[in-house]
Structure 1
Amino acid sequence: MRTIIMTAMLLALGSGTTSVAAVRIADAEVQTSLTHGRVEGPFELHSKVYPGTARRYWVYVPAGYDPSKPPNLLLFQDGQRAVNPEGSLKLPAVLDTLIEQKAIPQTLGVFVTPGNVSVRYPDTLGMQNPDHRPEEYDALSDAYARMTLDELLPAVARRWRFSADPKRRAIGGTSSGAIAAWTVAWRHPDAFGNVISFIGSYTSIGLKLGPDGTPLAYGGDTYPGLIRKSAIRPLRVFLQDGRNDLDNEHGNWFLANQQMLKALEWANAHADAEKHAGPRYDINHAWTEGTHSDADGGSILPDVLRWIWRDQQPGR
């Protein structure tokens, strides 16, 4: 039985920041559901935004799905791992359990892989990363968001309806999948109002230098500065990272995630001090002892989803 114990509950009035209260989540919690949704797929998507790439996606359709009552939407990156019943995330089982408990509303899940440069998505990849992942996930451009909003979600919507309300839509991922999720929501808060970020790669993976050392493209380590100097987006954000995460030529992952949290907190505090009207970031975080692994995020995932949709009526 895996247990994660986190910090005591804090509510920082005016900052919009909370930390999770002494949460103990056992793997067994997501194995007790009696009512099962179905996982459809994999489907293959050939992108015009990323020509020459192929990607796969799966769709979790909750039990009792009613197209006349469009459900919430959860879009998760690295879909091959998100749907893996032997993996750390086990998202279909988590959704089964939480929906049956009426802990979260009816939710359609979409789990998408990065692209692979090939005519067809290789059957042999298994849980491995497709070869176009860094170009898509770690770039700060709008390309991945355009693929998501203009290609992937319309393909899903041809068969299944889901809410158009950004407050009822969440996008998430782990590692580079987390920064990809953040970039989509940061650029398009009108499409996604909630972000789940586990072991996020807010580091310099995407940094590209010219022959003279001039940056040609920036990496995710730029985000804390962008957050501090940009208008606040109406986003609810959950950050998780472990103190034993990576430290390499791209950066220090745990420090990078702490910088993200500090930037979001500062943006709220500054807006309050200046008496600015408008939204504030709704922030929650969990610092664990883990490494660069999905394990800790997977262990707290049920409570993260409860927190994301805590103000919605169960079963809506």
Structure 2
Amino acid sequence: MSISKRDQLQLQAAEASDEPYELGPDSLPQPGTPRGSVTEYRLDDSERFPGTKRRYWVYVPAQYTPDHPANLMVFQDGDWYLRPNVNAHVVFDNLIHRGELPVCIGVFVEPGDNGPGNPLWGGDTNRNVEYDTLSDAYGQFLLDDLIPRLPVAVTDSPTRRAICGHSSGGICAFTAAWERPDAFGNVVSHCGSFVNIRGGHEYPSLIRRTERKPLRVFLQTGERDLDVVFGNWPIANRDMASALAYRGYECELVIGEGGHTLKHGGAIFPDTMRWLWGRT
């Protein structure tokens, strides 16, 4: 299987970062724990992003029954979260089995690919548009194009829905919830790009000037996260946490030792899920 430039950069960053994080037992298959299913699908006819095609995976826990609409969690750059550096579906298996998480459907979505020609992302040419744009477009894509296609019953309650992502996927998760708090009430951002790529650096000021919305937000970054022409990721995430606290949001900021990878976010993912879903 070929690997895209996007994945190459992520793997290179992980190898170079020398981060002191490993997955714990909650993130590894455990004897006697029922395993859910992960099924791959394709979406080739998006109305919100015409001309794009993408893969997505749906995780269904063993405990799911169609007569009880399940919680929902959507992951941007979904393939990254299914890989062994996070094992999100395995974490769900273990925590749901122990009653530490509600029955939850996981939807792992890739960014749209509208053809070759992008030298950085290797074909995922709509990622920047979808993830870094401050608008309701991506949230509406999920609500109009993707969620109605799910082969399972999920809740309509925003308090039982979450959205998650890394880097540009992290700011994308926040934007989707910010624009549609009636649909997504919980956010997890790993190394979120709240910097000046497409105006994301404006969020702290915007949050301070806007009436509080019904959102709970988990932010993670590392002391060695990016510091480039677009901005400084640790500072940007601290500014986000400060603005959210100012407006009275329930927000958690965890800063590790690492860089712009999912190593730290993956290692603490089980505890993140306990924080996120502990009140549902």
TM-score, reference length from structure 1? 0.78
Q: Distance in 2 between matches of 1:48 and 1:118?
A: 17
Q: Distance in 2 between matches of 1:42 and 1:92?
A: 16
2:232 aligned partner, one-letter code: N
Deviations along 1:112-164, one digit per CA (max 9) or x if unpaired, are 00101139xxxxxxx977221111100002111111111111111xx210111
- Equivalent residue, structure 1, for 2:79: 80
How many angstroms does 1:28 deviate by?
A: 3.1
The secondary structure found in structure 2 opposite 1:117 is coil
| 1:178-189 mapped onto 2 (5 Å cutoff) | 178-189=170-181
- Equivalent residue, structure 2, for 1:51: 50
- Say whether residues 1:199 and 2:199 are aligned partners: no
| 1:126-137 mapped onto 2 (5 Å cutoff) | 130-137=124-131
Q: Distance in 2 between matches of 1:197 and 1:235?
A: 13
Deviations along 1:215-262, one digit per CA (max 9) or x if unpaired, are xxxx10010011000110011110100010001111000100000001
Q: Distance in 1 between matches of 2:75 and 2:138?
A: 13
Deviations along 1:264-284, one digit per CA (max 9) or x if unpaired, are 11112xxxxxxxxxxxx1111
Distance 1:78 1:59, change over 3 A: same
- Say whether residues 1:228 and 2:190 are aligned partners: no
How many angstroms does 1:26 deviate by?
A: 3.9
- Equivalent residue, structure 2, for 1:92: 89
- Equivalent residue, structure 2, for 1:140: 134
Q: Distance in 2 between matches of 1:176 and 1:128?
A: 16
Count of residues paired in the alignment: 257
Choose 1 or 2 for highest CA Rg. Answer: 1
Distance 1:226 1:194, change over 3 A: same
1:174 aligned partner, one-letter code: H
The secondary structure found in structure 2 opposite 1:224 is helix
How many angstroms does 1:100 deviate by?
A: 1.1
Distance 1:37 1:287, change over 3 A: same
- Equivalent residue, structure 2, for 1:275: none
Q: How many percent identity over aligned positions?
A: 43
- Equivalent residue, structure 2, for 1:116: 113
Contact 2:135–2:179, Cα closer than 8 Å, also in 1: no
Structure number with higher helix proportion: 2
Q: Distance in 2 between matches of 1:165 and 1:128?
A: 37
2:57 aligned partner, one-letter code: W
TM-score, reference length from structure 2? 0.87
Contact 2:28–2:87, Cα closer than 8 Å, also in 1: no
- Equivalent residue, structure 1, for 2:4: none
For structure 1, the residue ranges without an aligned partner over 5 or more in a row are 5-24, 120-126, 207-218, 269-280
How many angstroms does 1:44 deviate by?
A: 2.6
Distance 1:291 1:36, change over 3 A: same
- Equivalent residue, structure 2, for 1:282: 250
Contact 1:114–1:129, Cα closer than 8 Å, also in 2: no
- Say whether residues 1:310 and 2:245 are aligned partners: no
Distance 1:309 1:128, change over 3 A: farther
- Equivalent residue, structure 2, for 1:39: 38
Q: Distance in 2 between matches of 1:296 and 1:58?
A: 23
1:306 aligned partner, one-letter code: R
Contact 2:220–2:265, Cα closer than 8 Å, also in 1: yes
Q: Distance in 1 between matches of 2:42 and 2:194?
A: 30
- Equivalent residue, structure 1, for 2:12: none
Contact 2:79–2:109, Cα closer than 8 Å, also in 1: yes
